[in-house]
Amino acid sequence: MPNSICAFQFEQVREALEGADLVICVVSSFGVDWFAEEALPLLPEGVPVLNVTKGLLGYPDGSLETFPYFFARKRPDLAFASIGGPCSSYGL
């Protein structure tokens, strides 16, 4: 792995995101709210975010939303992309 790629603990999110050129969000669906509340506000405008989290958000009215659309509503100034397809979460 290149020296410029590092692993961090979630307590180090501020340090991990400092100067990032790209952010890859790989959290369980239970971590989506945490990512939206704690990580997204720290990103500078224009940083692309790649989402690798499977699943959908369900709302009380029965509507569904993908995670990239959920994130984009929180930060419309960022570019979001997602990896998906017919696979189990272990395949991602």
Cα separation, 19 vs 30, in Å, equals 26
Pairing of strands 64-66, 56-58: antiparallel
Cα separation, 29 vs 47, in Å, equals 22
Cα separation, 47 vs 44, in Å, equals 6
Instruction: Identify the sign of the CA torsion 25, 31, 36, 42.
Output: negative
pTM of the model: 0.77
pLDDT at 86: 59
Tokens describing residue 74: 């929180």
List the pLDDT tens digit at each of the 92 positions of the chain. Answer: 788 777 888 789 889 888 888 898 888 888 899 999 999 999 988 899 998 887 888 999 999 998 889 999 999 999 999 886 655 555 55
